[in-house]
Amino acid sequence: MKLLLPILLLAATLLLSACQSTAQSPRQPVQPEANTPITAKQNPGIEASYRDFSQTDYESLLGKQPFAIFFHATWCPTCKIVEDDILENINAFPEGVVILKADYDTETALKKKYNVFSQSVIVMIDSNGSASETLIAPSFSTLKNSFISLLE
């Protein structure tokens, strides 16, 4: 009986993710080069960055500044939509935003640490190094507002 609620929540999350991916119009995916940060190109004063997860990056940010971990899977259509949204709006994020893209299929210890049970999840980490919020397939505006709250 104790396992029924988490299983139902997971099923509902997966169903919502599938519905969101079919409701969105398909876009041409924008793929960053491996381990190369994507930063604001039009306004060099904005230091927003989206890059592949690395333990070194993670440790250098943890407890020093707010950032986010995006649990992404290459096979996930919702992940592709969220990633496209991030890349298309990278210039509109507040200064200092860092999003680390973690591979959902291989970062098992990281998923366990942050209680992530589904792809398309973004975990917001505050400047103390604690998870402050977990977002499931957020829109750009939701993600931006979460960063604004963290950076205040």
Query: How far apart, in whole angstroms, are the C-alpha atoms of residue 93 and residue 70?
Result: 15
**R_g of the chain computed on alpha carbons:** 15
Q: Which residues lie closer than 8 Å to 79 by C-beta, 6 or more apart?
A: 70, 72, 73, 104, 119, 120
Average pLDDT of the chain is 78
What pLDDT band is residue 72 in, cutting at 50, 70 and 90? Answer: very high
Contacts of 126 (CB under 8 A, 6+ apart): 66, 132, 150
pLDDT interval class at 32 (50, 70, 90): very low
| Spatial separation of the C-alpha atoms in residues 67 and 97, rounded to whole Å | 6
Q: Which of 130, 12, 27 is nearest to 79 (CA)?
A: 27
Domain parsing of the chain, residue ranges: 35-151
Which comes out higher in pLDDT, residue 8 or 47?
Answer: 47
Quick check: 111 and 71 in contact, CB under 8 A? yes
Q: What is the pLDDT of residue 1?
A: 52
The domain covering 35-151 belongs, at the CATH homologous superfamily level, to: Glutaredoxin (3.40.30.10)
Cβ atoms 136, 73 nearer than 8 A: no
pTM of the predicted protein model: 0.70
| pLDDT, average across residues 41-70 | 80
DSSP 139: -
pLDDT of residue 94: 87
Residue 38's SS3 state is strand
Q: Tens digits of per-residue pLDDT, 121-141?
A: 999 999 999 999 999 999 999
Is pLDDT larger for residue 16 or for residue 98?
Answer: 98
SS3 20: helix
pLDDT reported for residue 13: 53
